[in-house]
Amino acid sequence: MDYIASSKLPTPWAEFSIHIFVDPATSKEHLALTLGDVSDGKPVLARVHSECLTGDALFSQRCDCGAQLETALRAIATEGRGVLLYLRQEGRGIGLVNKIRAYQLQDAGADTVEANERLGFPADMRRYDLCKPMLAKFGISALRLMTNNPRKVRAMEKIGVQVSERIPIQVNRNPFNENYLSTKATKLGHWLKERL
């Protein structure tokens, strides 16, 4: 992972620093947002967030992604210190075109896992090894990770990043994403509360 450049990024919650990285193997651009002194050796409040154009930018209620992104940035701003890694792996790694194809299958009754599998993909193709060089750039080796995904916690530990605390980030449960969240819990093992 090649570090390219950094700049200031004022948001409604805080003025973050934004850092751009490029994966030389895929030419994909990945981002990190940092706030405060994250290189002091103490566990850092963090979110590892995979791109979701429909949720993050278009406010889709089919998922909880955009709400999780905003909640994480607010939490980091409130704390005055933290990091958010924004990984460009849309649709659990299948890309935007296939994600919309999966949506079409979901509209016809498939759940998110079934839709990916009918398109010939695993349920989740995301990679988290990308995080190691990004976190290393900032001297971060321990996280207080905002996630509901046990796979993400295991992935951080596998790359040598300690997860000293897991912070639940369950937000925006609504009638449009109830089946999506239930599938996350039952088929992907996410730590989520009961149905609406």
Binding annotation for Zn(2+): 52, 63, 65
Confirm whether 124 is a catalytic residue.
yes
Angle at 20 between CA 16 and CA 24, to 5 degrees: 160
- Active site residue: 56, 111, 126, 173, which one? 126
- Active site residue: 111, 124, 166, 173, which one? 124
Q: Which residues are known binding-site members for GTP? A: 47-51, 68, 90-92, 112, 147, 152
Q: How many CB atoms lie within 10 A of CB 168?
A: 11
Confirm whether 166 is a catalytic residue.
no
d(CA 90, CA 180): 16
Per the CB < 8 A criterion, the answer to whether 61 and 26 are in contact is no
Helices (H), the chain: 65-79, 90-93, 96-107, 112-118, 131-137, 150-158, 178-188
* CA quadruple 148, 150, 151, 157: dihedral, nearest 10: 110
Residues designated catalytic: 124, 126
